[in-house]
Amino acid sequence: MPKAPRAKAAHRRHKRILKAAKGFQGARSKLFKTAQEAVQRSQQNATIHRKTRKRDFRRLWILRINAAARMRGLTYNRFIEGLRKAGIQVDRKMLADIAVTDAAAFDQMADKARTALA
């Protein structure tokens, strides 16, 4: 039986990997085997970091809300509890944005949270 030509498929595969490794330093962008390992690791890290980015942003939002709440005499925990009791449903992303951009609106929310706690 004649041998099946595989050069075309291999060449395509190599080109695909080397294209994905574009911008990597040194041999990682030039040599196929090294590039393949680097691309595989980068894809693995991309998957992991898509998950951790969500955690990191939530931590940042909570930090910003806590700082703004403490400037108004409340802790983060008491502020969130007060909002819940007052029936104000705003997610942490929006609260952090309001805390940074609109101090007057955050003051009103803090007052409502404080009255709901009392």
Domains and CATH numbers, the chain: 7-117 (1.10.1900.20)
3-class DSSP state for residue 23? coil
**CB-based burial of residue 83 (10 Å sphere; 0-12 exposed, 13-18 middle, 19+ buried)?**
buried
Q: What single letter denotes the amino acid at residue 30?
A: K
Terminal-to-terminal C-alpha distance of the chain? 88
Instruction: pLDDT band for 6, please (50, 70, 90 cuts).
Output: confident
Q: What is the mean pLDDT of the chain?
A: 95
CA proximity to 64, closest of 94, 91, 100 = 100
Tell me what pLDDT residue 110 has.
95
Please indicate whether residue 6 or residue 18 has the higher confidence score (pLDDT): 18
Tell me what pLDDT residue 85 has.
94
Q: Is the sign of the CA dihedral 21, 22, 25, 29 positive or negative? A: positive
DSSP state of 110: H
Residue that the structure tokens 């703004």 belong to? 68
Q: Is the whole-model pTM more than 0.95?
A: no
Please indicate whether residue 4 or residue 45 has the higher confidence score (pLDDT): 45
CA proximity to 61, closest of 27, 99, 28 = 99
Region 104-109: mean pLDDT is: 95
Q: Is the pLDDT of residue 3 over 90?
A: no
